[in-house]
Amino acid sequence: MIDFITGIVTHKNPMQIVLDNSGIGFALFISTNTFKELPAVGEKTTLKTYLHVREDNIQLYAFSREEERMVFLGLISVSGVGPRLAQTILSGIKLDDLIQSIQTGNLANLTSISGVGTKTAQRLIVELKEKFLQWGLIDSDRVDKTNLPVLSSLEEEALLALISLGYKRAVVERAISRARIKGSYKSVEDLIKVALQVI
């Protein structure tokens, strides 16, 4: 993996930058967050990078801050979110606001970003909140408990049943949240089956 690139800015726009490194021009995809922190054309800069390799294409993504690269890596780990959508998300909201929206479960903020529907926003919250906590992007003392989803009586019953089987409460709550995204369920048994598939 190419961890970073240092070079002279020869061209830049809100979606891409070209860096001259020892006579080689590297074209890097960027977000508007990174674009706003770039120096002027002709000046030197260092950007963190992510190399995305497919059978028919190789693309370099660049970030002005390590935190932004970490969030990007989190985003592309979510089902249905590729590198281009991840960059669109990073361009559609300030980095700190994105992290806070995932932390507090703010669906309205997330769905206001181009290309992010309700189901994608729900997946971002469910799959990234804990990951961001582990990575130190979210302060565990500041997680807003009031915005956690309220369980229905059916979901509460399924939760207690799964806990009685030996699963930890946090794991079960996350599985039930994922089960909500996957679709509807008509009974406790149905919900338990779906939750067990995503635990």
Q: What is the DSSP string of 113-158?
A: STT--HHHHHHHHHHHHHHHHHHTSS-GGG--GGGSPPPPHHHHHH
Q: Which residue has the higher pLDDT, 98 or 186?
A: 98
Q: Is this prediction's pTM over 0.75?
A: no
Q: Which CATH class is domain 4-63?
A: mainly beta
pLDDT in tens, 35-93: 999 999 999 999 999 999 988 889 999 999 999 999 999 999 998 999 999 999 999 99
Determine the average pLDDT of the residues in 9-20.
97
Question: Residue 10 pLDDT > 90, yes or no?
Answer: yes
Q: Which residue has the higher pLDDT, 21 or 191?
A: 21
Q: What are phi and psi of 115, to 5 degrees?
A: 90, -5
pLDDT in tens, 81-137: 999 999 999 999 999 999 999 988 899 999 999 999 999 999 999 889 888 888 888
pLDDT grade, residue 15 (50/70/90)?
A: very high
Residue 197's alpha-carbon distances to 37, 125, 172, 178, 190, in angstroms, are 43, 19, 11, 10, 11
Rounded Cα–Cα distance for residues 129 and 159 (Å): 20
Out of 1.10.1760, 1.10.3470, 3.40.50, 1.10.8, select the CATH number for domain 149-198: 1.10.8
pLDDT grade, residue 145 (50/70/90)?
A: very low
Can you identify the CATH homologous superfamily of domain 66-145? Answer: 5' to 3' exonuclease, C-terminal subdomain (1.10.150.20)
For the chain, which residues make up each domain, given as ranges? 4-63, 66-145, 149-198
